[in-house]
Structure 1
Amino acid sequence: MAPIHVLHGQPTPEELATVLAVVQARAAAAQAAADAARLAGVGPASPWNDRARLLRPTLHPGVNAWRTAGWAR
C-alpha cells in the first residue's frame, strides 16, 4: 500500500486509524469482487456484443469537408 500523507489539519491517531481502516476495507472488497469475477469467468464484454459499435461514428470535419459531404461512402 502506498504511503499516505496528511495535507491539511492535525488528525488524532484514532481519526487516522479510522480512515485507514475504511480505505483498507474498501480496497479488500474491491479485490475480492475482482477475484470473484475472475473465478466466475466474467470479463469485459466482447467487442462483438458491444452495442456502441452500431452507433454513428464521431464526425471530424476537416479542410474541404463541406465539399466531400455529399460523396458516397
Structure 2
Amino acid sequence: MNIKVVRGNPTPEELAAALAVVRVRAAAAAALPPGAPAPRDSWADPSRIAARRLPQPGPATWARTYWPG
C-alpha cells in the first residue's frame, strides 16, 4: 500500500495519525467474513434523524428539520 501526500506539508505526527486511521479501517475491513456486507456508517444512517422527535409546526420549523443536536 502506498500513500502519497498530494497537497500540503503534513508534520510527521499528522502523517502518523492519518496512517493509523487507514490501518485501522483496513484491518476492520479485512476482519469481515467473505461476502459480508460492509457496516453502515452511522452518519449516513437515516434512523439517526428519525429517532428524534419531529419538530412542531412554527415559523422556524424548516430550519430545525434536519439540524443535528
TM score, norm. by length of structure 2: 0.47
TM score, norm. by length of structure 1: 0.44
Which structure shows the higher helix fraction?
Answer: 1
Of the two structures, which has the highest relative contact order with CA contacts closer than 8 Å and spacing of 6 or more? 2
Larger Rg: 1
